[in-house]
């Protein structure tokens, strides 16, 4: 159990890169005035990120993932209970995977 110097050096640099990304966007926006257009851009980021994450999962996935997404969206839409929606979706994925295995 030890930390080798070259590994320590690598981790130090990687952490700085990580931190620069996390703090950088917020810091830089200090110098950008929030016009209605910039505001519209920033407001669209959440739904765009969600699309960028879920799109490939849906395209590369199969029936377990498709049903899982449908359960998550459906339960959330009708019950607004995100805990039930996420657990239900994971359970669906597990069951369908088991059924297909």
Partner 1 sequence: MMQTPTFTWRGVVDGAAKGIVIAPALIAFGLAVGVLAFSKGLTALEIALMSAWVYAGTAQMASLQVWAEPVPLLVLVLTVLAMNARYVLLSAALRPPFGALPAWQIYPGLAIFGDGNWALTMRDVNERRPDAGFLLGSGLVMYLPWIGATVAGHLFGQVLGDPRRLGLDFMLAALFATMAVGFFRVARSVAPLIVAIVVAVVVQKLIDGPWYLFAGALAGSLTGALRVRPT
Question: What residues numbered 62-101 form the site for partner 1, per CB under 8 A?
Answer: 64-65, 68-69, 71-73, 75-77, 82-83, 85-86, 89-94, 97-98
- Output the DSSP codes for 4-73: -HHHHHHHHHHHHHHHHHHHHHHHHGGGS---HHHHHHHHHHHHHHHHHHHHHHHHH--HHHHHHHHHHH
Least spacing, CB of residue 28 vs partner 1, in Å: 7
Q: Is residue 39 close enough to count as binding partner 1 by CB under 8 A?
A: yes
Least spacing, CB of residue 65 vs partner 1, in Å: 7
């Amino acid at each position: 159990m030890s930390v080798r110097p070259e590994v320590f050096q690598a981790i130090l640099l990687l952490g700085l890169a990580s931190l620069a990304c996390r703090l950088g966007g917020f810091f830089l926006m200090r110098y950008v005035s929030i016009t209605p257009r910039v505001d519209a851009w920033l407001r669209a980021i959440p739904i765009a990120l969600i699309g960028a994450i879920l799109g490939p999962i849906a395209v590369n996935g199969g029936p377990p993932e498709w049903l899982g997404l449908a359960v998550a969206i459906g339960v959330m839409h009708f019950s607004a209970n995100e805990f039930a929606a996420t657990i239900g979706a994971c359970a669906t994925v597990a069951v369908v995977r088991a059924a297909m295995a």
